[in-house]
Chain A
């Protein structure tokens, strides 16, 4: 009898985000006739694609009991680097040489920059034992400053139709950003569930000392995961830049909070070792639907922030309660 009750409690705990999403959709749908429309459906999916990419990386980090506060700034810098190189290339006046970047080149450069910043995060955390919160907070400022330096504080715009495809295009009747985020999620699920490094991530988050004693090279895994988180933030940067047809120096401000919210609401424990990419996707959808609903209901942007903050708080409280019960 007790076992049945326990399994029912576990099932209910797993279904919490799904139930929350269902209730949220129902309430917004009742209050706004524009919510349950096809165009709004694609609009919401397009909007959450960026957060899904960032949150996927964040999930891997949080599963190791880490945190990455720099994703918003990394997104901005990567987007700016991609846009800047693609649009203007690099000039070497003394050699009378111009190095131009193709679309592929610009995108790869942005992703490499994101990966490098993530790598530095990982190195600071593992080699210099800086707490993840502090290391990534420092990177948040550094990357934002570098973005300002790279852009001189001005947007880089006029990137053309080919570039806009990644943020505004459609493929097989589905927005391109949705395809990109689906690909990212698919690969991340494979990584976390079917590979050695995926198991290591859960092991480190569950008990770092035990993982170390069992022979896992913890530092290596951490550096890889933070690098991946940086690269995924860069993919988000590509989508944002493409969608706006410009790289904004202040792009991605506050995105770290949205991604942490998606991770927590999706059931990933902030103390690590427990959670899933699928849950995070659900969390990101909840955040996206909440944002969309608040806009459709004409709620003031100031109140929107209050509501989002409260939702995160409630999700953490529920997470703590669940952890205590188990």
Chain B
């Protein structure tokens, strides 16, 4: 191959390479004014507002449909699968499921992180300090996960719902609660279908009177 032809081929190669780099570069980055991007970001999903609306408009009306906790526990001991099939919800795949339950009991102890209740032969605790996880969000089965575009927003809804319970539902109750008081509650009971343990039942309260 003559020298000039070799040189031409090399030039064509470099030009093609440069073209590819420019093409990829053009389709890879974009430029905007930073203040515009920041103001748009501030208008993004408001998890606190969403959670408040969900709590008031979706969750609270469902509290009337909560299962009686004593009847449910009885059903769980007789027919675990039926109880989980009929009354449990969860958004995630796995054996952890949530039950919307209600009941009335007598306060037997007020501890730093929880309040113990006695309901006939059944004892349970109401969580008042560590309100974590997705129990409140998922317990009704009405939280539409498909309407979200990212998992961070989904998790933030849980965090905000937990905050509502921890900051608005529990403090007024704890302030007045005394041992021997009669308490009517509605809340979420979390159970593991693979390792069912009905000895230490804990309920995250959503409504307490």
Contacts and interface: CB of A to CB of B under 8 A. Distances in A.
Interface of A: 89, 91-93, 95-102, 104-105, 108-109, 157-161, 245-246
B27 interface: yes
Interface residues of B, number: 17
B92 interface: no
Contacts, number: 57
A190 to B, nearest CB: 20
A92 B34 contact: yes
B31 A93 contact: no
Nearest to A161: B149
B150 A158 contact: yes
A245 B154 CA distance: 13
Given A97-B31, A98-B36, A108-B24, 11 more contacts: A89-B37, A97-B32, A98-B31, A98-B37, A102-B27, A102-B28, A104-B28, A158-B150, A158-B151, A245-B151, A246-B151
Contacts of B28: 101-102, 104-105, 108-109
Contacts of A109: 28
Given A102-B29, A104-B27, A105-B28, A157 B152 contact: yes
Given A104-B28, A108-B24, A157 B151 contact: yes
Given A104-B27, A105-B27, A108-B24, A98 B150 contact: no
Nearest to B30: A100
Contacts of A101: 28-29
Nearest to A94: B34
Nearest to A101: B29
A247 B28 CA distance: 20
Contact of B150 (A91, A99, A105, A160): A160
Interface string B33-74: 111110000000000000000000000000000000000000
B93 to A, nearest CB: 13
Nearest to B37: A98
B150 A159 contact: yes
B129 interface: no
B35 A96 contact: yes
29 contacts: A89-B37, A91-B34, A91-B37, A92-B34, A93-B34, A96-B33, A97-B31, A98-B31, A98-B36, A99-B31, A100-B30, A100-B31, A100-B32, A100-B37, A102-B29, A102-B30, A104-B24, A105-B27, A105-B29, A108-B28, A157-B150, A157-B152, A158-B150, A158-B151, A158-B152, A158-B153, A160-B149, A245-B150, A245-B151
B46 to A, nearest CB: 15
Contacts of B31: 97-100
Contacts of B149: 158, 160-161
